[in-house]
């Protein structure tokens, strides 16, 4: 691989086009290093060219990807993980990739997500989000530590003229890399509607009865809040606010037509970099205190709370068992720590290992999803209850979202603390773990707190 300079763009495209037969196309991926650019400004600039956008930031790792347009889409229905892995390998094998940088998230990268439960009946709410879909953006900005990279992914056709195509790509690149700041005017909520609160509490009660009389230990139930805004939401502005307020989180946005699934989740499912794997167990929740003293008291109560520790241990044991199948040198600390966020704090345990040869990040995602923090214990029985009795179509909420590259690096987080925005309306989602002694009113209050991160950036209060 050679480092790509602008003058080489025509040569790369000419070689790709000349090798094509009629009615064939060639995916070309071309990466270069650039001067620092704000990923949110890049994302905002893309609004002017009316293409779908994607955004991903791991705030703790100084890592961001902002993507524009769809050079290639991969979707599936049956055997979704196996099909996606096979198709992704085919895309990599057939693509021409010019990337001289050994940097995660550069070169050929695909970003996307999937349904929480592919067997759940779908509703119109998630109509623009396939059961599983990953997109290779046409233009992509990657920030890795202190360095920035720009990638063009173009689907070249036999009828394309290499010089004209190169000039078109450069024109769009210049436009996207010209600084454009997101508008600063904040949104206001005009109305909020909690969907079926009393029915939801009855479902919690039914879940506790199911747990007492069956082998189920835990069932996670989610609910929805619908809000009306004073104007169409500017997604870049919301991203800016999430980045400013939700530290220790993965900030994401997946745009499809006029819908955008956006959030700031603290829960990593899996990260793989150079075959080194990291998964995190995040379960057990409490609010932050209004003072340092109160915050420490709440943190200490959370750490010693039997219900929360039990809920957390469900997740730890499941992830440890799952990773032992695909990894060597699996390490799990003996006790959790308390992980602070702006509005909430959680019990947290990291799990590390090294991926065995012959396995991919899709194997890990399939093994771990859904964790007990989003589904329940045992998994299949809990999911069946959720499928039969939960009052909403989760869609991509609570499911893995993330990215993977052509060098076997990737990262997925669990899409909680999120909202599906549709112009001047939004659906917000929050869930909680129900066990045999759960009290419906207390669980309702826990989910109310979990709405806070998204409510705060949409102009509302908890």
Domains and CATH numbers, the chain: 6-176 (no CATH), 189-457 (3.60.120.10)
pLDDT band at 1 (very low <50, low <70, confident <90, very high): very low
User: How many CA atoms, within 13 angstroms, populate the side-chain half-sphere of residue 122?
Assistant: 17
pLDDT above 90 coverage of the chain, percent? 79
Q: What average pLDDT is seen over the chain?
A: 92
- Asked if 409 and 272 count as a contact pair (C-beta separation under 8 A), the reply is yes
CA angle 313, 371, 92 (to 5 degrees): 135
What's the pLDDT at 78? 74
Quick: pLDDT tens for 5-40. 555 889 999 998 988 877 789 999 999 999 999 999
Point out the catalytic residue in the list 218, 271, 320, 450. 218
Catalytic residue list contains 334? no
Higher pLDDT pick, 160 / 78: 160
- Binding-site residues: 311, 446
Quick: pLDDT tens for 403-424. 999 999 999 999 999 999 999 9
Distance set, CA 449 to CA 180, 220, 266, 344, 446 (Å): 34, 16, 15, 8, 5
What's the pLDDT at 355? 94
Asked whether the predicted pLDDT for residue 461 surpasses 70, the reply is no
- Asked if 206 and 388 count as a contact pair (C-beta separation under 8 A), the reply is no
Quick: pLDDT tens for 94-134. 999 999 999 999 999 999 999 999 999 999 999 999 999 99
**Rounded Cα distance, 144 and 77, in Å:** 33
Catalytic residue list contains 33? no
Question: Who's near 66: CB < 8 A, 6+ residues apart?
Answer: 39, 40, 42, 43, 46, 53, 54, 55, 56, 140, 141
- Binding-site residues for Mg(2+): 311, 446
CA angle 447, 335, 351 (to 5 degrees): 80
What's the pLDDT at 2? 38
**Rounded Cα distance, 378 and 383, in Å:** 9
Q: What is the residue whose two structure tokens read 């230990």? A: 217
pLDDT band at 352 (very low <50, low <70, confident <90, very high): very high
Point out the catalytic residue in the list 138, 255, 267, 411. 267
Asked whether the predicted pLDDT for residue 269 surpasses 70, the reply is yes
Nearest to 311 by CA among 220, 381, 248, 397: 220
3-state secondary structure of 187: coil
């Amino acid at each position: 691989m050679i480092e790509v300079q602008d003058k080489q763009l025509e040569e790369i495209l000419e070689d790709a086009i000349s090798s094509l037969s009629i009615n064939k196309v060639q995916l070309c991926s071309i990466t270069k290093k650039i001067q620092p650019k704000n990923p949110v400004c890049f994302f905002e600039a893309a609004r002017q060219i009316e293409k779908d956008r994607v955004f991903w930031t791991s705030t703790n790792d100084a890592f961001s990807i902002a993507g524009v347009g769809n050079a290639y889409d991969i979707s599936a229905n049956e055997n979704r993980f196996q099909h996606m892995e096979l198709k992704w390998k085919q895309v990599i094998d057939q693509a021409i990739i010019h990337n001289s940088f050994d940097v995660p998230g550069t070169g050929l990268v695909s970003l996307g997500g999937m349904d929480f439960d592919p067997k759940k009946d779908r509703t119109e709410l998630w109509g623009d989000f396939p059961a599983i879909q990953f997109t290779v953006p046409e233009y992509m900005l990657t920030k890795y530590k202190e360095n920035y990279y720009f990638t063009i992914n173009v689907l070249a056709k036999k009828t394309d003229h290499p010089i004209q195509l190169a000039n078109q790509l450069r024109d769009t690149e210049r436009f996207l890399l010209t600084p454009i700041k997101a508008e600063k005017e904040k949104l206001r909520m005009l109305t909020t509607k909690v969907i079926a609160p009393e029915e939801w509490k009855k479902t919690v009660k039914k879940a506790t009865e199911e747990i007492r009389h069956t082998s189920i230990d835990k069932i996670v139930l989610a609910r929805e809040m619908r809000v009306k805004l004073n104007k169409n939401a500017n997604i870049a502005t919301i991203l800016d606010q999430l980045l400013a307020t939700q530290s220790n989180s993965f900030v994401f946005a997946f745009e499809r037509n006029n819908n955008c699934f956006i959030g700031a989740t603290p829960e990593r499912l899996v990260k793989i970099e150079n075959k080194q794997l990291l998964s995190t167990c995040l379960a057990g929740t409490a609010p932050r205190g209004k003072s340092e003293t109160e915050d420490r008291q709440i943190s200490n109560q959370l750490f010693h709370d039997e219900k929360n520790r039990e809920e957390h241990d469900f997740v730890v044991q499941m992830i440890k068992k799952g990773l032992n199948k695909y990894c060597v040198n699996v390490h799990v600390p003996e006790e959790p720590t308390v992980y602070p966020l702006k509005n909430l704090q959680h019990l947290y345990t990291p799990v590390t290992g090294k991926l065995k040869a012959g396995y991919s990040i899709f194997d890990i995602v399939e093994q771990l999803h859904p964790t007990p923090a989003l589904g329940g214990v045992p998994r299949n029985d809990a999911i069946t209850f959720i499928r039969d009795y939960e009052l909403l179509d989760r869609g991509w909420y609570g499911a893995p979202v993330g990215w993977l590259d052509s060098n076997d690096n990737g990262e997925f987080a669990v899409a909680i603390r999120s909202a599906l925005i549709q112009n001047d309306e939004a659906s917000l989602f929050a869930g909680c773990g129900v066990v045999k002694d759960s009290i419906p009113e207390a669980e309702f209050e826990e989910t109310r707190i979990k709405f806070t991160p998204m409510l705060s950036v949409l102009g509302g209060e908890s």
